[in-house]
Amino acid sequence: MVWTTRDTGLFRGTPQTDHFRRMASVTPCRRINRADHARPFLLAKQGLSLPKTFQAIGQTHDLATFLDDVTTTGLLVLHKGEKVYENYWEGNRADSQVAIFSCTKSFVSTLVACALRDGYIASLDDRADKYAPELKGSGYEGVRIEDILQMSSGVRWNEDYGDPHSDIARFAAAYLEPASFDAVCASLPREHAPGTFNRYNTCDTHVLGMVVSRAVGQPLTDYLQHQVWDKLGMEDDAFFLIDGKGVEAAGMGLQVTLRDMAKLGQFMLRGGLSPEGEQLLPAGWIEACSTATKDHLKPGERATSTYPWGYGYQWWIPDNSGAYSALGVYHQMIWVDPAKDVVIAKTTAYAAFGQDHEDENRVDQLHFAACHAIADAAAKG
């Protein structure tokens, strides 16, 4: 076990910039080692000039002003697998491991895929409590793994980052004392019939982590090391936050460099192929991540979802363009645009996050539109 600095302002709107350099207190984590055969991105012969403006919410926005207003700390753009733009702000550098919060969910989705590929998980129709029996008696009893992947477990949950008494605050507190993320998940009741309502729920992803770790017989850190870090040629060490029982925070706990965030996006863009050409994902997995397969998962305002964005297997679907995204609090993101052959990784320390739900959605919408504009510019060369 290693210790890293902790952001004591978590979920109270306090920005984290350089997660290791500026925070005073410590948090227990497990280390994921950089790949023995790291695969740096090739630098494109011609770099990208970011577009000056982009259109969103009926207005023209200055991109540079937007990036500054939301306190962007890192931005990396790939086109055709080559790096066309990379820049850092607020003291961050290429080797800064940043808390990516809920972008962790998209990494965990990949681990579910690997466990399914190798037969550790027999089927996505299996119930979560088959692998994690401590969930029996909770809202997760009898819920299919696929419904949990699609944030449709039906479990009651409050993910209000501004409410100190919310479920997400209770979950986050489990790493501040000898407590258990698993126990929080096992305490949650049922609210909706599984597979009918899209409620964003960090505990859903933690339950996926419970399922994977039990199924493969390894801590998530070890499985992530072998199945993702080593096989994708990750360039830097990463860290996984653990609770008082030594269990990884599967829904929000990774601390990763911007370049390694982009590597996950490029892996998805390549259809689940490793740099050596090995197919690491089951057939149909990418489509299930990037496509809303049921009405309650489709983009747009709807009574069966808590957000206006669509949802796949732990990836957001902002619109019907074919692009999809990982998102984390303070507006971390990995943007994958197959039509334009573009991946964008962005770290952000937006100070107002968690204070206003409508503002969170507004800034997400601005990010999506900015990514579309950047991808357009990269594709045009």
CA distance from start to end of the chain: 45
**∠181-311-88 over CA atoms, to 5°?**
75
Q: What is the mean pLDDT of the chain?
A: 91
Residue with the bigger pLDDT between 328 and 355: it is 328
Residue spans per domain, the chain: 2-380
Residue 291 CA to residue 180 CA, distance in Å, equals 33
Residue 247 pLDDT exceeds 50: yes
Q: Tokens 């949990």 sit at which residue?
A: 148
What does the block give as tokens for 171? 């979950």
Residue 293: the pLDDT is 93
Residue 178: the pLDDT is 67
Residue with the bigger pLDDT between 173 and 246: it is 246
Residue 176: the pLDDT is 65
Q: Which CATH architecture has domain 2-380?
A: 3-Layer(aba) Sandwich (3.40)
Q: In this predicted model, what pLDDT tens digit does every residue of 21-66 receive, in sequence order?
A: 333 245 789 999 999 999 999 999 999 999 999 999 999 999 999 9
Residue 170: the pLDDT is 79
Amino acid at 76: L
Residue 353: the pLDDT is 86
Q: In this predicted model, what pLDDT tens digit does every residue of 124-150 receive, in sequence order?
A: 999 999 999 999 999 999 999 999 999
Q: In this predicted model, what pLDDT tens digit does every residue of 178-236 receive, in sequence order?
A: 678 999 999 999 999 999 999 999 999 999 999 999 999 999 999 999 999 999 999 99
Calculate the alpha carbon distances from 73 to 97, 98, 102, 159 in Å: 11, 9, 17, 25
Range with the lowest mean pLDDT among 157-166, 335-344, 365-374?
157-166
Residue 325 CA to residue 342 CA, distance in Å, equals 12
pTM: 0.93
Residue 11: the pLDDT is 33
Amino acid at 307: Y
| One-letter-per-residue 3-state SS of the chain | CEEEEECCCCCCCCCCCCCCCCCCEEEEEEEECCCCCCCCCEECCCCCCCCCEEEECCEEEEHHHHHHHCCEEEEEEEECCEEEEEEECCCCCCCCCEECHHHHHHHHHHHHHHHHHCCCCCCCCCEHHHHCHHHCCCCCCCCEHHHHHCCCCCECCCCCCCCCCCHHHHHHHCCCCCCCHHHHHHCCCECCCCCCCECCCHHHHHHHHHHHHHHHCCCHHHHHHHHHHHHHCCCCCEEEEECCCCCECCCCCEEECHHHHHHHHHHHHCCCECCCCCECCCCCHHHHHHCCCCHHHCCCCCCCECCCCEECCCCEECCCCCCEEEEECCCEEEEEEHHHCEEEEEEECCCCCCCCHHHHHHHHHHHHHHHHHHHHHHHHC
Residue 326 CA to residue 337 CA, distance in Å, equals 12
Residue 17 pLDDT exceeds 50: no
Residue 26: the pLDDT is 59
The set of residues, in sequence order, having a beta carbon less than 8 Å from that of 134 and lying 6+ positions away, is 182, 186
Q: In this predicted model, what pLDDT tens digit does every residue of 349-369 receive, in sequence order?
A: 998 887 888 888 999 999 999
Residue 206: the pLDDT is 97
Q: If you count them, how many residues does the chain have? A: 381
Q: Give yes or no for a contact between 298 and 320, defined as CB atoms under 8 angstroms apart.
A: no
Q: Give yes or no for a contact between 210 and 186, defined as CB atoms under 8 angstroms apart.
A: no
What does the block give as tokens for 282? 């089951």
Residue 207: the pLDDT is 98
Residue 177 pLDDT exceeds 70: no
Q: In this predicted model, what pLDDT tens digit does every residue of 70-113 receive, in sequence order?
A: 999 999 999 999 999 999 999 999 999 999 999 999 999 999 99
Q: Tokens 């997660």 sit at which residue?
A: 19
**∠227-148-341 over CA atoms, to 5°?**
55
Residue 301 CA to residue 299 CA, distance in Å, equals 7
Residue 146 CA to residue 275 CA, distance in Å, equals 28
